[in-house]
Amino acid sequence: MAALTNADRPRRADARALAPAVSAITRRYAVFLLLAVLVVVFSTAEPAFLGLNNFMSVLQAVSVVAILAVGVTISMAVGGFDLSVGAIAASSVVAASYAMVVWRFNAAETVAVVLAFGLAVGLANAFLIVVVGVPDLLATLAMNFLLTGLQLIPTAGRSIATGLILPSGVSANGVFDPNFLAIGRRRLFDVAPLPVLAMLVVAVIAFVLTERTRIGRLFFAVGGNEIAARLAGAPTARLKVLAYAISATLAAFGGVIVAARVGRGDVSSGASLLLDAVAASLIGFAVLAARRPNVFGAVVGAIFVGVLLNGLTMLNVPYYTQDFVKGAVLVGALGLTCGLGRRPA
Amino acid sequence: MTLGITAATRVAISSGVAVKGVSKRFSSTQALSAVDFEVAPGEVVGLMGANGAGKSTLVNVLVGAVKPDEGVMTVDGRAYAPGSPREAIAAGIVAIHQATDRAGAPGLTVAETLLLDRFADGRSSFFVSPASIRRRAAAIAERAGFSLALDRDFADIGPAERQLIAIARALSSDARVLIFDEPTASLSSTEAARLFDVIEALAAKGLAIVYISHRTPDLKRLASRVVVLRGGRVVAGFRRPVDFAATLKAMIGRPVESAHPDARAGRGAPVLETRGLRPRSGVPPIDLELRAGEVTAITGPLGGGKSSLLLTLFGAILPVEGEMRLNGVSWRPRSPAEAIAGGVHLAAEDRRRTSFVPPDWPGGSLSASIALPHLRRWFPHGFLIPAVERAAALTAIRRLDIQTSGPDARLHTLSGGNQQKVVLARWLAERPRVLLLDEPFQGVDVGARADIAAAVRALDDVATLVTASDPQEALEVADRIFVLDAQGLRPFASENETRGRAALETNGSTNGRLD
């Protein structure tokens, strides 16, 4: 200490002040920095990675997960956690196929029915949570279980395609409406697949809703401090119902996109959707060091995982390592959010 | 320099616990400065001080929860620098906390609760039988010198028994210094009398007792000495017989008035009135009238029903029975939203728990925090307009002199007093008819307290009701003061006839001064 000259002092102080600032910036943009590194590495190893087509196929691959992640994020904003989105999306695939093949609905009717189904599930979730008082995680986990089983019942566990033999022995001969299939397969101006546009529209609307409106502010007030929200006159129960309704309806919309892309009612489709969506919304906490649920982060999180998987696939990394990679990314993001990024008390 | 504690410069060898020159700073506030304090075995020392005087910090330093910046401590003459509450307990210093529900857990019997420490620290064998638990628990209770219903569930016993359990546990781990923090706050008078007997017996056995309380009757009965803290310093010490008027004066730093110096009477018909109102079952009915331009304060013990009264007027809890009228019309709000719409605003106690969202969340800024109850009125089309929030925040910052970097400041960067000003600003952003303030001076420094009191007193068309468990705080703001406890609501003045007499006798505070 005594050896410290006056000239040294300010420089040390500067260095001390600078280090936290650098680490704060690094934390803030960590996900983007990593994304940039990934893009550089992948495009060096495989130039095709950088093409517009590949970019669109990455976005298309993550569109459903991103839409589900937006829903999960909104449920987190009110302090909850919607774990039923995976099963809602999967059972929506079955519901859409069933509506067209068995009931011979057209595209518009099918979409309306499936979204109504999602809304109904969301209201059921909200009933369990708000009225009955079941904790969020448990209520939606139970709903996930219930829907996973429910979707098998109408067809006795068979996948749905034209010619399906129903449990009653009757053969169902409706077909997938081409307009319905277009939702998953057509591209706008031959460039942007409709699912990618749908993802962007959902993301923008949800972003504005959560970050720029009264409702969004109240969502976060309920999730941040429910007592404070209630004492400020916020209708906390109604806000939670709304959040779960939005989350479930978005999940059903994700199911519509899957059904339109696959073109048949696979009963097992969307098995990993739940974990992917939850991972994306949690990675979103780390984006811009938000440390809270946020729509922008959730979408970036979904894209980040998509880029990583796409690049690794191009580099011939085996398919079966994907879940491990996603898990590793999630662990890293949570560490970034909860540990390194903690504010000094 | 820094922590002198570890390199203990020894204080004069003495028994009991001694604190010398202890200072502690929390960011902007000097919580303790050069505090000297000691308690000898067999002594009960009363520790008094207004909110924010540094009592809790001193206790936290003693029990190892807070590391002091400077100063030394000794126990029985040996250097004492606890790194954790566990080390403090090992050294024989134990605090009996106000929140007695944390002394055990529902589902455990009293006997099991008594042995919790033993279970936790591995001093007990791996297998335990009910019989051995009961036998050892009985031994602990006997050693403590009072009887406990060993087989009852912890969930079924009241605060008084829980306190005794905590005391017995402390004694079973060879405590030599016991610190009580407002121990009679939630006790009936017979329970309190029993606790006094227990404490006297403990002192007679040679334990050193620190007794924190505002209640002069408690201290009159127990304390061999009283030490008064103000602004983090020991400002006075008194020996028996303690002149409590002088202690009050030392606590607030000036003579005490029975109500605000320029007490006003409210004008006109009552804005809000209650008739036979029972917020909860088992509390006496409350008759109260609030008039515009008048500040009414309610003081009384913790759990006496102050908060439930305010929450009832605000529609957050529905009353058991009784009538409320707002401007002469029946007033039965079923939710805070209805109350706010009717012009009844409540700034609830414990601002972090009841008013603020976490710092990283949307709504965690000063301006958003003020806007929260008014979003519908300010943004009828649903879209937030930052300029509107900022303008309201700037008005509040000027009006209440909030020390902050600006409307976008995150609340956790503000001091306690400025945070409380933000809460007040929230409920003044739209003019209320009735303003309810529950413990508005909790964790608020003296300067901010004066600002808040002045702002509240300036509201001449608002009927204001303030609660403060510290009567001194009530005195600073109110035109009239009531006490609310198990016996009901009654005027405060009668209890304090002694005050005026001795308030000006200054020698009381110098004669008995420590050191």
* Calpha distance B406→A247 (Å, rounded): 36
* Calpha distance A298→A293 (Å, rounded): 8
Q: In what order do the strands lie in the sheet with B29-39?
A: B29-39, B17-26, B70-75, B78-79
Asked if residue A294 is part of any domain, the answer here is yes
Return the closest-CA partner of residue B241 out of B49, B504, B512, B44: B512
* Calpha distance A174→A171 (Å, rounded): 9
* Calpha distance A174→B194 (Å, rounded): 83
* Chain B residue nearest residue A225, CA to CA: B357
- B317 contacts chain A (CB < 8 A): no
Asked if residue A25 is part of any domain, the answer here is no
Which residues in chain B have their CB less than 8 angstroms from residue A216's CB? 362
**Confidence class for position B124, pLDDT limits 50, 70, 90:** low
Return the closest-CA partner of residue A143 out of A123, A127, A121: A121
* Whole-number pLDDT of residue B12: 42
**3-class SS of residue A171:** strand
Mutate to test the interface with A, among B314, B375, B379 (most CBs of A within 10 A): B375
Per-residue pLDDT reduced to its tens digit, A103-157: 999 999 999 999 999 999 999 999 999 999 999 999 999 999 999 899 888 888 8
* Chain A residue nearest residue B315, CA to CA: A231
Angle B220-B178-B91 from CA coordinates, rounded to 5° = 155
The yes-or-no verdict on residue B99 having pLDDT over 70 is: no
**3-class SS of residue B54:** coil
* Calpha distance A100→A91 (Å, rounded): 14
- B375 contacts chain A (CB < 8 A): yes
* Whole-number pLDDT of residue B456: 94
Taking CB atoms and an 8 Å limit, are A224 and B314 in contact across chains?
A: no
Asked if residue A14 is part of any domain, the answer here is no
CATH number for position A333: 1.10.3470
* Whole-number pLDDT of residue B261: 58
* Calpha distance B314→B318 (Å, rounded): 9
Taking CB atoms and an 8 Å limit, are B372 and A232 in contact across chains?
A: yes
A273 versus A322: the higher-pLDDT residue is: A273
The yes-or-no verdict on residue B446 having pLDDT over 80 is: no
Q: Considering Cα of B383, then B385, then B390, then B392, what sign does the dihedral take?
A: negative
Which residues in chain A have their CB less than 8 angstroms from residue B384's CB? 212-214, 217
* Whole-number pLDDT of residue A5: 42
Phi, psi values for residue A26, rounded to 5°: -60, -45
Q: Which CATH number fits domain B1-92+176-242: 3.40.50.720, 3.40.50.300, 3.40.50.10320, 2.40.30.10?
A: 3.40.50.300
Per-residue pLDDT reduced to its tens digit, B164-191: 888 888 888 888 899 988 787 667 767 7
Which residues in chain B have their CB less than 8 angstroms from residue A228's CB? 353-357, 372
The crossing angle, in degrees rounded to 10, of helices A85-101 and A273-286 is: 140
The whole-angstrom distance between A73's CA and the closest CA on chain B is 13
* Whole-number pLDDT of residue A318: 85
With a pLDDT cut of 70, the percent of chain A lying above it is 91
With a pLDDT cut of 90, the percent of chain B lying above it is 34
C-beta of residue B172 within 8 angstroms of C-beta of residue B144 = yes
Per-residue pLDDT reduced to its tens digit, B233-252: 888 888 888 787 788 778 77
Q: Write down the H helix ranges in A151-212.
A: 178-185, 194-212
Q: Which residues contact A214 (CB under 8 A, 6 or more apart)?
A: B375, B376, B379, B382, B383, B384
* Calpha distance B211→B227 (Å, rounded): 10
* Whole-number pLDDT of residue A238: 96
* Calpha distance B15→B26 (Å, rounded): 31
The crossing angle, in degrees rounded to 10, of helices A295-314 and A322-334 is: 140
Taking CB atoms and an 8 Å limit, are A228 and B357 in contact across chains?
A: yes
* Calpha distance A108→A177 (Å, rounded): 9
The whole-angstrom distance between A24's CA and the closest CA on chain B is 14
The whole-angstrom distance between A5's CA and the closest CA on chain B is 19
Which burial class, exposed, middle or buried, applies to A206 when counting CB atoms under 10 A from its CB (0-12, 13-18, 19+)? buried
Which residues in chain B have their CB less than 8 angstroms from residue A229's CB? 357, 372
What token pair was written down for B186? Answer: 């939630």
* CB contact burial B367-405 (16+ within 10 A = b; e otherwise): bbbbbbbbbeebbeeeebeeeebbebbeebbeebebebe
Q: Which residues contact B16 (CB under 8 A, 6 or more apart)?
A: B38, B39, B40, B41, B43, B75, B76, B176, B177, B208
What interface predicted TM-score (ipTM) does this complex get? 0.83
Per-residue pLDDT reduced to its tens digit, A157-180: 888 888 788 888 888 888 899 999
* Whole-number pLDDT of residue B243: 80
* Whole-number pLDDT of residue B108: 86
The whole-angstrom distance between A208's CA and the closest CA on chain B is 9
Count CB atoms within 10 A of the CB of residue A6. 6
> What does the mean pLDDT of chain A come to?
87
**3-class SS of residue A151:** coil
* Whole-number pLDDT of residue B123: 66
* Whole-number pLDDT of residue A96: 94
Tell me which residue in A212, A233, A290 faces B384 most closely, judged by beta carbons: A212
Which burial class, exposed, middle or buried, applies to B356 when counting CB atoms under 10 A from its CB (0-12, 13-18, 19+)? buried
> What does the mean pLDDT of chain B come to?
83
* Calpha distance B114→A53 (Å, rounded): 70
Tell me which residue in A224, A231, A234 faces B361 most closely, judged by beta carbons: A224
Per-residue pLDDT reduced to its tens digit, A72-95: 999 999 999 999 999 999 999 999
What token pair was written down for B80? Answer: 């004492």
The yes-or-no verdict on residue B424 having pLDDT over 80 is: yes
* Whole-number pLDDT of residue B113: 85
* Whole-number pLDDT of residue B259: 52
Q: Of chain B residues 262-281, which have a CB less than 8 A from chain A? A: none
* Calpha distance B514→B511 (Å, rounded): 9
**Full domain range(s) for residue A173:** 30-340
Q: Which class is domain B267-497? A: alpha beta
Q: What is the phi-psi region of residue A270: left when phi exceeds 0, alpha when psi lies from -120 to 50, beta otherwise?
A: left
CA B462 to chain centre: 27
Taking CB atoms and an 8 Å limit, are B335 and A217 in contact across chains?
A: no
Asked if residue A22 is part of any domain, the answer here is no
What token pair was written down for B18? Answer: 């001694």
The yes-or-no verdict on residue B505 having pLDDT over 60 is: no
Residue at token pair 């007033």: B331
Mean pLDDT of all residues in B154-173: 83
C-beta of residue B349 within 8 angstroms of C-beta of residue B442 = yes
- A212 contacts chain B (CB < 8 A): yes
C-beta of residue B163 within 8 angstroms of C-beta of residue B194 = no
**Confidence class for position B9, pLDDT limits 50, 70, 90:** very low
Residue at token pair 């029903």: B305
- A292 contacts chain B (CB < 8 A): yes
Query: In this complex, how many residue pairs, one in chain A and one in chain B, have their CB atoms less than 8 Å apart?
Result: 87
- B348 contacts chain A (CB < 8 A): yes
* Calpha distance B185→B215 (Å, rounded): 9
* Whole-number pLDDT of residue B151: 84
* Whole-number pLDDT of residue B1: 38
**What kind and span of H or E run contains B23?**
strand B17-26
Tell me which residue in A218, A223, A225 faces B375 most closely, judged by beta carbons: A218
Asked if residue A23 is part of any domain, the answer here is no
* Calpha distance A170→A164 (Å, rounded): 8
| Sequence letter at residue A167 | P
The yes-or-no verdict on residue B296 having pLDDT over 90 is: yes
Residue at token pair 């050191």: B515
B310 versus B243: the higher-pLDDT residue is: B310
* Calpha distance B442→B438 (Å, rounded): 9
* Calpha distance A293→A290 (Å, rounded): 8
The CATH 3.40.50.300 domain(s) of chain B lie at 1-92+176-242, 267-497
Asked if residue A9 is part of any domain, the answer here is no
Tell me which residue in A210, A228, A292 faces B355 most closely, judged by beta carbons: A228
- B376 contacts chain A (CB < 8 A): yes
Mean pLDDT of all residues in A275-302: 91
* Calpha distance A164→B104 (Å, rounded): 62
Q: Considering Cα of B230, then B351, then B474, then B492, what sign does the dihedral take?
A: negative
B159 versus A345: the higher-pLDDT residue is: B159
Q: Write down the H helix ranges in B296-415.
A: 306-313, 336-341, 351-354, 366-371, 375-378, 386-400
Angle A197-A198-A200 from CA coordinates, rounded to 5° = 65
The whole-angstrom distance between B238's CA and the closest CA on chain A is 38
The yes-or-no verdict on residue B368 having pLDDT over 90 is: yes
The yes-or-no verdict on residue B400 having pLDDT over 60 is: yes
What DSSP state is assigned to residue B101? G
The whole-angstrom distance between B425's CA and the closest CA on chain A is 13
Count CB atoms within 10 A of the CB of residue B507. 9
Taking CB atoms and an 8 Å limit, are A233 and B337 in contact across chains?
A: yes
Taking CB atoms and an 8 Å limit, are A213 and B357 in contact across chains?
A: no
CA B347 to chain centre: 17
Q: Tally the domains of chain A.
A: 1
For the ranges A183-192, A230-239, B202-211, B498-507, the maximum mean pLDDT occurs at A230-239
Angle A320-A325-A327 from CA coordinates, rounded to 5° = 110
Residue at token pair 């308690």: B39
Residue at token pair 């919304």: A281
* Whole-number pLDDT of residue A16: 58
**What are the beta bridge partners of residue B440?**
none
* Whole-number pLDDT of residue B51: 67
* Whole-number pLDDT of residue B372: 95
Which residues in chain B have their CB less than 8 angstroms from residue A230's CB? 316, 335-336
Cis peptide upstream of residue B241 (ω within 30 degrees of 0): yes
Taking CB atoms and an 8 Å limit, are A290 and B360 in contact across chains?
A: yes
Tell me which residue in A214, A233, A343 faces B379 most closely, judged by beta carbons: A214
* Whole-number pLDDT of residue A17: 61
* Chain A residue nearest residue B378, CA to CA: A214
* Whole-number pLDDT of residue B419: 92
**3-class SS of residue B492:** coil
Tell me which residue in A214, A220, A229 faces B382 most closely, judged by beta carbons: A214
